Amino acid sequence: MGHGHGHSHAQPAEPASQRVRTLLMWLLVPLALATIVGAVLLYPFGHEQKTGAAVGLHQKPVNAVVTGMQENCGEKCIAVTVRMTSGDANGQTITIPTAHGPGAPHFQIGDEVVLSYSGSQPQAAESYQIVDFQRGWSLVVLALLFTAAVLLLGRWQGLAALGALLLSFVVLVLFVMPSILAGESPLLVAVVGAGLIMFGVLYLTHGVSARTSTAVLGTLVSLALIGVLGALFSVVSKLTGLDEDTINLVTVLGTDIDTRGLLLAGTLIGALGVLDDVTVTQTSAVWELRRANEKLTWRELFAAGSRIGRDHMSSVVNTLVMAYAGAALPLLLAISLAGRSLGEILSAQQIAQEIVRTLVGSIGLVAAVPVTTALAALVAVRQEVAPAEPKPGPEPEKPAAKAKAKPVAKPRRNRIEGDLFIGYDPDKGPWERPSARAARTAAPARQAPPARRRSSGSP
């Protein structure tokens, strides 16, 4: 009875820890199931998306190599001779007039280019136009360098990060894009797609734990806030989402599409990557603070984590603003040439939608810091501190550990002071001996007394 009673008091923190895990499971499992169900309902099973000539795009890409150039076709024209390496006229050489001057690409012999073929007469030069450079090998080399850098620094964690990156591309290419093109609501597709990416990436990269679940919950709350604010201010600001790229998409599809929802979808997906960074960093910071001092209350954990989060938040918000500004830089330059005032430039459709994206995403990032920090503090304070478990293990090896640690803990320190060589021995304590210089100068003096004794002893 006594043994059983003692055993009942051996794990006082386990019920609280178990309750936290259960609560997180009850919160996140339904959301994960809803994400999977939404993906199944929104995925366009059996839908065959028309492409190429079926949607009016008759141009086909053909690879070619530049073999010659002549500047005799006009003042702002250059005749480029290419040999095709693919397509219906593979191996044939043709000469294509190409624009030459400011804003036009510059070609050199040996450049690998891409031609646009109209599909009418494969032997005629008039059916082709130089539209781009081939850059597949350079992108492959860059991807290999990126992979090597991630694996070298992150090891197994880096491998998990690469898997998460691949998963994100798979969700975007195989779910988000086909579903939107099939006519589904872009906003709903983006919400479900973001959920798939978030659950998959975070748990794959950081493992299944209470810490990861807390980061997932903080990300969900921040994404919901971004979605609500984005929908509200896109309506208040009367944003249509009809920029040049979207107009081209609607024209090619030939069907109606929710362009405002497409704008919101881009806002959600664009903010997701930065949100993951903020929530994971805040959760890890709170867990490490808890590990360093297990006596901290949740209020103290929240206060300390918030101080860390403020520095992170300021840099992340600036990163998001610079990312959007960099993407819209050509547009900003083009509009500034129109001679319009700053207010007119900022309120233009194409600029205003970038402002809404930036500010709404930034509000979500700012909110992610206190929300995630509070959740992490509430969960971490009820978790057992991990370093406390391995302490009993090394106790039998304490003498050996001490013996090995002595020279490291108390390193030998030597100095020459006058004619004495002074040092410290970890086993024997301080010691002194004459320096080499003192020994040399003292040698004749040590030999002199015996000589004097022999001379005094002779008659």
Helices of type H across 13-135: 14-42
Q: Are 424 and 413 in contact (CB under 8 A)?
A: yes
The reply to whether 40 and 70 lie within a common domain is: no
8 A C-beta contact, residue 120 and residue 127: yes
- Domain stop point among 336, 351, 386: 386
Mean pLDDT, 10 residues at a time, the chain of 459 residues = 45 62 86 94 87 74 92 81 90 89 85 87 87 90 94 88 92 93 90 93 88 92 92 89 80 81 89 87 91 88 90 76 76 76 79 86 90 91 62 49 47 48 54 55 49 44
User: In this structure, what DSSP letter does residue 390 have?
Assistant: S
Using alpha carbons only, give the angle 193, 222, 167 rounded to the nearest 5 degrees: 30
In a domain, 442, yes or no: no
pLDDT, position 188: 92
What amino acid is encoded at 321 in this protein?
Answer: V
Tell me which residue of 198, 253, 187, 247 sits closest to 220, measured CA to CA: 198
**In 286-419, at which residue ranges do the beta strands (DSSP E only) sit?**
415-417
Nearest-angstrom CA–CA distance, 219 and 224: 9
| Residue 449 counted as domain residue | no
Shared-domain flag, residues 281 and 337: yes
Neighbours of 96 (CB within 10 A): 20
Residue 16: count of CB within 10 angstroms of its CB: 13
Mark which of 364, 386, 408 sits at the end of a domain: 386
232, containing H or E segment: helix 210-236
Domain containing 109 — which CATH number? 2.40.50
Residues 206 and 83 in one domain: no
Domain for residue 443, yes or no? no
Within this chain, do residues 166 and 32 fall inside the same structural domain, yes or no? Answer: yes
pLDDT of residue 368: 92
Same domain, 219 and 177: yes
Same domain, 307 and 381: yes
Whether 432 is in a domain gets the answer no
Q: Report residue 18 CA to chain centroid gap.
A: 32
Tokens of 326: 């960099």
pLDDT, position 16: 67
List Cβ neighbours of 202 (8 Å cut-off, separation of 6 or more): 212, 215, 216, 219, 276, 280
Same domain, 172 and 318: yes
Residue 396 resides in a domain: no
| 172, 68: one domain | no
> Where in the sequence is the domain holding 101, given as residue range(s)?
59-133
Report how many domains make up the chain. Answer: 2
**Domain boundary, last residue among 386, 416, 451:** 386
Instruction: Tell me which DSSP letter residue 176 carries.
Output: I
Contacts within 8 Å (CB) and 24+ apart, 73-78: 73/97, 76/100, 76/101, 78/107
- Determine, yes or no, domain membership for 118: yes
Co-location of 30 and 116 in the same domain: no
Q: Is residue 427 part of a domain?
A: no
pLDDT of 171: 95
- 271 in the same domain as 382: yes
Q: What is the pLDDT of residues 335-354, one digit of tens each?
A: 777 777 778 777 888 888 88
Check whether residue 170 and residue 299 sit in a common domain: yes
Are 247 and 190 a contacting pair, CB within 8 Å? no
Question: Cα(first)–Cα(last) distance of the chain, in Å?
Answer: 102
- Asked, for residue 402, whether it belongs to a domain, the answer is no
- Which of 192, 197, 175 shows the shortest CA–CA distance to 45? 175
Which two tokens mark 329? 């830089």
Q: What pTM, to 2 d.p., does this model score?
A: 0.71
Q: Are residues 126 and 171 in the same domain?
A: no
